[in-house]
Amino acid sequence: MENRKAGKRMRLLKTYAPLYLLTIPGLLYLLINNYLPMLGLVIAFKDVNFSKGILGSDWIGFKNFEYLFKTSDAYVITRNTILYNSAFIVLNLIVAVGVAILLNEIRSKLMARFYQSVVLLPYLISMVIVSYLGYAVLSMDTGFLNKTVLPLFGMDEIAWYNEPKYWPYILTFIHTWKGAGFLCVVYLAAIIGIDQEYYEAATLDGASKRQQIRSITLPLIAPVITMMTLLAIGRIFYSDFGLFYQVPMDSGSLFNATNVIDTYVYRGLMQLGDIGMSSAAGMYQSLVGFVLVLLSNYVVRKFNRENALF
């Protein structure tokens, strides 16, 4: 009995051995690039002094973390980071799935490809260039809005880069414009993978387009939606640095609306150059992200075991 079991296991291993071998480079990559650097987390608890070496430096407990929580800005940056990213996740989801469904309904192959490329294009533009596109529209001296559009309506110039109240909308718009294209392609791929027979059967039963979308398309791409959303939630504490730093042109007057954890850390430590404090910020972000992924996955599993990531 024992022997038979062992023999079976061996046979299985023999069959899959080449596959295991194939995973080695990937595992090594993970080990070297993702796990070994984690040893660096000790830096977050040290007062780094290079003449003593990193391991020889003094332990200082949680002192490196203090600046993240101590000031009145701590509330603003955490609020901004979470609210913006939540809004981005929801909007990206709605826009991307919507556009993907629409794209799927275009029957002309050529036009479908054309629209797909147009939607994807902003995703490929560097944030620095996006920031200058924004500047061309919003600048005081030469901006399109201030020099061309607002005078048409007889309105006064607006100092866009000094008025925080407009920026939540500007940033959200830019992020959706730039990011939705990529997600859209992912969802489109999932939709195309749906078996056409479902739709044929539904059409025979007299289902309208809207009913087909609600009862066939959406449920069948739900696993992809959950996965993409869970991944996005895991990064909710990281923000798109380019978007929040470059696009508002680093304008101080806008900080209340544009400062997020990443930009705060960057600005605060540019002068100090303290690697202990920056690792503390990185560690804080990844821990919260980790906890959030576990939590949201747990919630998903409560509702639908199938759709959960793990």
Partner 1 sequence: MNASKKWLALLLIVCLSVLAACSSNNSSSGGSSASSPSAGSQPSSGESGEAYELNVAFPIFGAVPSNMPEVEKAISDIAKEKIGATVKLTPISIGAWSQQSNLMLTSNEKVDLIYVSGTSFTGMVSKGQLLALDDLLGEHGPDIVATFDPEFLKATAINGKTYAVPSNKEMAVDYGLSILKRYIDKYKIDPTSIKTLDDLDGLFKTIKDGESDLPAILVPQSAGISFLASHRWFDPLGDSIGVLPDFGGGLTVANLYESSEYAAFVKKMREWYQAGYIMKDSATNKDNGNALILAGKGIARLSNLKPGYERQTSLEYQEPATVISLTQAYATTSSVASVNWGIPYSAKNPEKSMRFLNLMYGDTEIINLFDWGIEGKDYVKKSENIIAYPEGVDATTVAYNLNLGWMFGNQLKSYIFEGEDPDLWKKMAEYNANAVRSPALGFSFDASPVKTEYAAVTNVINQYALPLETGSVDPDKILPEFIAKLKSSGIEKIIAEKQKQLDEWKRQNG
The residue ranges that bind partner 1 (CB under 8 A) are: 6, 9-10, 13-14, 17, 20-21, 24, 28, 31-32, 36, 47-53, 63, 66-67, 70-73, 135, 139-141, 159, 161-162, 249-253, 255, 259, 264, 267-275, 277
The span from the CA of 269 to the CA of 182, in Å, is: 33
CB 219 within 8 Å of CB 235: no
Strands (E), the chain: 46-47, 58-59
Q: Where do runs of H (alpha helix) occur along 243-274?
A: 255-258, 261-272
- Least separation in angstroms between residue 10's CB and partner 1 is 5
Q: Which two tokens stand for residue 110?
A: 């050529």
Residues 197, 202, 203, 205, CA torsion sign? positive
- Tokens matching residue 191: 């939709």
Separation of alpha carbons 170 and 174, rounded Å: 6
Cβ 134 to partner 1 shortest distance, Å: 11
User: Which lies closer to partner 1 via its Cβ, residue 17 or residue 125?
Assistant: 17
Nearer to partner 1 by C-beta: 159 or 231?
159
Q: With respect to partner 1, which residue has the nearer C-beta, 53 or 206?
A: 53
Which residue, 67 or 88, is less far from partner 1 as judged by CB? Answer: 67
Closest distance between partner 1 and the C-beta of residue 86, in Å? 24
What does the alpha-carbon distance between residue 89 and residue 91 come to, in Å, rounded to a whole number? 6
Q: Which is nearer to partner 1, 71 or 215 (CB)?
A: 71
Q: Please, what is the minimum distance in Å from the beta carbon of residue 12 to partner 1?
A: 9
> Alpha helices, DSSP H only, in the chain?
2-30, 66-70, 73-105, 109-120, 127-138, 144, 150-152, 167-192, 196-204, 209-212, 218-234, 241, 255-258, 261-272, 275-303
Closest distance of CB 265 from partner 1, Å: 8
Structure tokens at 240: 């798109």
Q: State how far the Cα of 76 lies from the Cα of 168, in Å rounded to an integer.
A: 13
Minimum distance of partner 1 from residue 65's CB (angstroms): 9
- Nearer to partner 1 (CB atom), residue 52 or residue 209: 52
Longest CA span, the chain: 91
Q: Whole-number minimum distance, CB 295 to partner 1, in Å?
A: 30
Beta carbon nearer to partner 1, 26 or 206:
26
SS3 263: helix
Closest to partner 1 by CB, 140 or 287: 140
Question: Which one, of 104, 109, 111, 120, lies nearest residue 191 by Cα?
Answer: 104
How large is the angle between the packed helices 73-105 and 261-272, nearest 10 degrees? Answer: 130
Beta carbon of residue 236, minimum distance to partner 1 (angstroms, whole number): 22
Counting runs of H as helices and runs of E as strands, what totals does the chain give? 15, 2
